[in-house]
Amino acid sequence: MTPPTPTLQAGDTVPDGTFRYIPYTEDPQRHSQSLDITEDLKGKKVVLFSVPGAFTPTCHVNHLPPYLQHYDDFKAKGVDIIAVVAANDPFVMSGWGRFEGVKDKILCLSDPEAEWSGKIGLALDMSQLHFGIRTARYAIIIDDLVITYIATEPGPGVTVTGAEALLAEL
Amino acid sequence: MAPTVKVGETIPAGTFKYIPYTPELESNAACGVPVSLDITKDWKGKKVVLFSVPGAFTPTCHVNHLPPYLQKYDEFKAKGVDVIGVLASNDPFVMSGWGRFQDVKDKLLCLSDIGAEWSSKLGLSMDTPGGARTARYAIILDDLTIKYIEVEPAPGVSVSGADAVLAKL
C-alpha cells in the first residue's frame, strides 16, 4: 500500500476538528468527551502520532511503547501533550491505553472514520481488508496550532514517526 | 429487535476472524495473526455458547457481560459446552486485545464480526454513528442447530447473560 502524502506541511495551521476520548481515571468512565483541536490545543506544544489500529502488531509493540518510555524526555523538551490517535472508537482507545499502562501520560484519541486525518490527506482505505477507513501511520508536532513537523511512514515499521525521530525534531 | 431465525433452525453460515490464544501473546511482544473461523465447518457436532456485545471495552460489556462468562467457565464445561465465544463488530486485533485485558486466555474465543455482517443476517445488528454494531444477544448451538436465541430487550444484561444461558443448558 503506498503511503499517503499529507496535504499540509510545516508552517501550516492544523485544520479544525474534534477527537473523542475517555480521560484517564482509576475507574473506567462510561462516557467519552470531545477534544476540540482549535480550542484545546491552542498555545500548546503537542506531539501527535497516529496508528492504523489499536492492538495491531506494529502499533502495539513498536510504535506506542517508546513514546511512553520517553515521556520524560518529551516533557523536558517542553511538550505539553502527547497523543496517539486511531480510527477505533474511544472505548477501544481507552482500553488500549489502559492495556499499555499509559495512564494520563498519553491521550488516546479516537478519530472516527479517520475524518480529521482525512482532512490532511492521511486516511487509509482498508476496506478490502475489512478494516474500514483508518488513519495512516504518521506523526505531527504542533506548536500553538502550527505544524512544525509532519511525516508519514514510507513503509512498514516505525522510523520517521517514532518517538526518537520526533525527539530529535524538538 | 427480534432475531430472524429461531430455535430449531440451522444457524446461518458465516466466518469470523479471530486471533487464537497463545502464551506468547501474554508478553505483549506479539499481537498474533488473525485466522478465520467457519461456523459450518468448525462448529459442526459441537455445543456452542455464543454471546454478542455491541463493543469491546464498552461499559456494560466490559464489566457486566463478559466477566461472568469467564467466572462460570467450569460450569459451562460441566454442561457439555465445547466452545464459548464472545462476538462484537470490532476488528480481530481489538477483540484479541480485549480478551487479553480480561485475561480470558483460551477459555473464550474473542471473535470479530466485522461490520456486524453475520449478525445482521440474523436481524441482530444495529446502526450506530460509528457504523453497524452487533446487538447484545446470546445463542446456544448444538451441532449447528439453534437451541436458544435471545436479544436483550433493554440496556443491561439479563437473557443474554451467563446465568440465563446456563439455566438453558
Q: Do B96 and A55 touch (CB under 8 A)?
A: yes
Strand A138-143 with A45-50, pairing? antiparallel
The answer to whether position A2 is within a domain reads: no
CATH classification for the domain delimited by B15-168, as one of 3.30.70.20, 1.10.10.10, 3.40.30.10, 3.40.50.1820: 3.40.30.10
The answer to whether position A1 is within a domain reads: no
Q: Do B98 and A91 touch (CB under 8 A)?
A: no
Do the interacting molecules here have an ipTM over 0.90?
no
The answer to whether position A6 is within a domain reads: no
Distance from CA of A145 to the nearest CA of B (A): 27
Per-domain residue ranges for chain B?
15-168
pLDDT band of residue A128 (cuts 50, 70, 90) is confident
Domain of A63? 12-169
The answer to whether position A19 is within a domain reads: yes
Q: Please state, in angstroms and rounded to a whole number, the distance separating the CA atoms of residues A29 and A26.
A: 9
The closest of B114, B89, B96 to A128, measured between CA atoms, is: B114
Instruction: Note the pLDDT of residue B122.
Output: 96
Tally of domains in chain A:
1
The answer to whether position A42 is within a domain reads: yes
Helix, strand or coil, per DSSP, at residue A72: helix
The closest of A1, A11, A2, A19 to A119, measured between CA atoms, is: A19
Active-site annotation holds for B31: no
Q: What is the pLDDT of residues A77-92, one digit of tens each?
A: 999 999 999 999 999 9
pLDDT band of residue A43 (cuts 50, 70, 90) is very high
The answer to whether position A3 is within a domain reads: no
The answer to whether position A133 is within a domain reads: yes
Distance from CA of A109 to the nearest CA of B (A): 15
In this predicted structure, the answer to whether residue B55 has a pLDDT above a threshold of 60 is yes
Concatenated DSSP letters of chain B? ---SS-TTSBPPP-EEEE----GGGGGTS-----EEEEHHHHTTT-EEEEEE-S-TT-HHIIIIIHHHHHHTHHHHHHTT--EEEEEESS-HHHHHHHHHHTT-TTSSEEEE-GGGHHHHHTT-EEEETTEEEE-SEEEEEETTEEEEEEE-SSSS-STTSHHHHHHT-
Q: Is A110 on the interface with B (CB under 8 A)?
A: no
The answer to whether position A74 is within a domain reads: yes
Q: What is the pLDDT of residues B121-157, one digit of tens each?
A: 999 999 988 789 999 999 999 999 999 999 999 888 9
Distance from CA of B166 to the nearest CA of A (A): 28
Element containing residue A131 per DSSP (H, E): none
Q: Is A92 on the interface with B (CB under 8 A)?
A: yes
In this predicted structure, the answer to whether residue B14 has a pLDDT above a threshold of 90 is yes
Q: Which residues of B touch A60 (CB under 8 A)?
A: 28, 31, 93, 97
Find the CATH number of the domain harbouring A78.
3.40.30.10
In this predicted structure, the answer to whether residue B161 has a pLDDT above a threshold of 70 is yes
Q: What b-and-e string marks burial along A129-139, b requiring 16 or more CB atoms within 10 Å of the CB?
A: eebbbbbbbbb
* Percentage of chain B modeled with pLDDT above 70: 97
How large is the average pLDDT for residues A113-140? 92
Please answer whether residues B25 and B118 qualify as being in contact, where contact means their C-beta atoms are separated by less than 8 angstroms: no
Question: Which candidate from B29, B31, B94 shows the least CB-CB separation from A88?
Answer: B94
How large is the average pLDDT for residues A152-170? 92
Q: Which site among B57, B66, B95, B104 would you substitute to test the A interface, given the most A Cβ atoms closer than 10 Å to its Cβ?
A: B57
Instruction: Note the pLDDT of residue A56.
Output: 84
Instruction: Note the pLDDT of residue B62.
Output: 67
